[in-house]
């Protein structure tokens, strides 16, 4: 993980809270607390632009903790971004998506993306896959071309599940395991 020093260092010391039975790590990239420094944001988006060529029309992120990533990436690449919101707008063509995570569930609403758009989907973490999977399935039904899926942190089996169910490769920057209340980081698990 030579390139993602700050991300790795801060993840290793991230606090873990219990949400029911779910072990939830708290980190600036995924929660905006305790402090999201320009350095850590820059390290992440610099690594993304170093590793991947992003020839897409739009960056698609998911509210809430994909928005700062899309913003930083958009400023760097000049590619505009769209937010899949937790709020219904009722705009023509709006598509609702049911999201579930290890600790919550709700609706997400897709606006601003049309058939034929070539997009990058970016999010902060994939854990159960209950957010990314239905979003990718909805975009497929909308005949949107998902050229790339990037998630900063992979945790649990969600990445594998989403790859198997959608056929998309999910590119991640770092893998997190929580074992005996300790955070272990490792390079992404390549399928
Ligand atoms: O793979 P999953 O189990 O779906 O977990 C990943 C999702 O969990 C968080 O979203 P959430 O809506 O919980 O919180 P946020 O509003 O802080 O982004 C995170 O931003 C991911 O979108
Ligand atoms: N910050 C954070 N976000 C999550 N989203 C799904 N799982 C997690 C987690 O463990 N930590």
Is the Cβ–Cβ distance between 7 and 174 less than 8 Å? Answer: yes
Question: What's the mean pLDDT in 5-17?
Answer: 98
Q: Return d(Cα 85, Cα 161) in angstroms, integer.
A: 23
Q: Hey, is 140 helix, strand or coil?
A: helix
Residues in contact with ligand 1 by the CB-under-6-Å rule are: 62-65, 101-102, 104, 123-132, 158
**Band (1; pLDDT cuts 50, 70, 90):** low
CA–CA separation, 6 vs 93, rounded Å? 41
Please state the atom number of ligand 1 nearest to the C-alpha of residue 106.
12
- 36-79 pLDDT, tens digit per residue, is 999 999 999 999 999 999 999 999 999 999 999 999 999 999 99
- Evaluate: CB of 24 within 6 angstroms of ligand 2: yes
Q: What is the pLDDT confidence band of residue 190, given thresholds at 50, 70 and 90?
A: confident
The DSSP H or E segment spanning 139 is helix 132-141
Domain ranges for the chain: 2-186
pLDDT tens sequence across 164-184: 999 999 999 999 999 999 999
Rounded Cα gap, residues 171 and 174, in angstroms: 9
Q: Which ligand is nearest to the CA of 162?
A: 1
Does 45 sit behind a cis peptide bond, omega within 30 degrees of 0 on the bond before it?
no
Contact 174, 188 (CB under 8 A): yes
CATH of 2-186, one of 1.20.1580.10, 1.10.1040.20, 3.40.50.2020, 3.40.630.30: 3.40.50.2020
Which of these ranges, 1-5, 145-149, 156-160, has the smallest mean pLDDT?
1-5
How far apart CA 57 and CA 80 sit, in angstroms, is 7
Closest CA to 18 of 186, 175, 185, 178: 178
Whole-number Å distance, alpha carbon 15 to ligand 2 midpoint, is 11
Question: Nearest C-alpha to atom 19 of ligand 1 is from which residue?
Answer: 125
Number of the ligand closest to the Cα of 108:
1
Ligand closest to CA 129: 1
- In the numeric block, the tokens 């928005």 are attached to 67
| pTM for this predicted structure | 0.98
Q: Inform me whether the pLDDT recorded for 2 exceeds 80.
A: no
Distance from the CA of 183 to the center of ligand 2, in angstroms? 12
Between CA 88 and CA 109 the distance in angstroms is: 6
* Residue 191 binned pLDDT confidence (cut-offs 50, 70, 90): low
- pLDDT per residue over 110-157, tens digit each? 999 999 999 999 999 999 999 999 999 999 999 999 999 999 999 999
Backbone φ and ψ for 111, nearest 5 degrees, come out as -135, 160
What confidence category does residue 92 fall into, taking pLDDT thresholds of 50, 70 and 90? very high
């Amino acid at each position: 993980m030579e390139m993602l020093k700050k991300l790795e260092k801060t993840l290793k010391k991230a606090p873990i809270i219990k949400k029911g039975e779910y072990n939830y790590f708290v980190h600036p990239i995924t929660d905006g607390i305790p402090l999201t420094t320009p350095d850590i944001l820059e390290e992440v988006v610099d690594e993304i632009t170093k590793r991947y060529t992003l020839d897409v029309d739009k960056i698609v992120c998911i509210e809430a903790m994909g928005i700062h990533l899309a913003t930083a990436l958009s400023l760097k690449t000049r590619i505009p971004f769209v937010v899949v919101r937790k709020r219904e707008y009722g705009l023509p063509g709006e598509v609702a998506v049911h999201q579930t995570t290890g600790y919550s569930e709700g609706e997400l609403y897709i606006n601003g993306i049309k058939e034929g758009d070539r997009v990058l989907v970016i999010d902060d973490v994939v854990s159960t896959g209950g957010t990314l999977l239905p979003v990718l399935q909805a975009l497929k039904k909308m005949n949107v071309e998902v050229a790339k899926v990037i998630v900063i942190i992979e945790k649990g089996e969600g990445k594998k599940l989403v790859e198997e169910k959608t056929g998309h490769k999910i590119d991640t920057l770092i893998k997190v395991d929580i074992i005996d209340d300790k955070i272990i980081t490792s390079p992404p698990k390549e399928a």
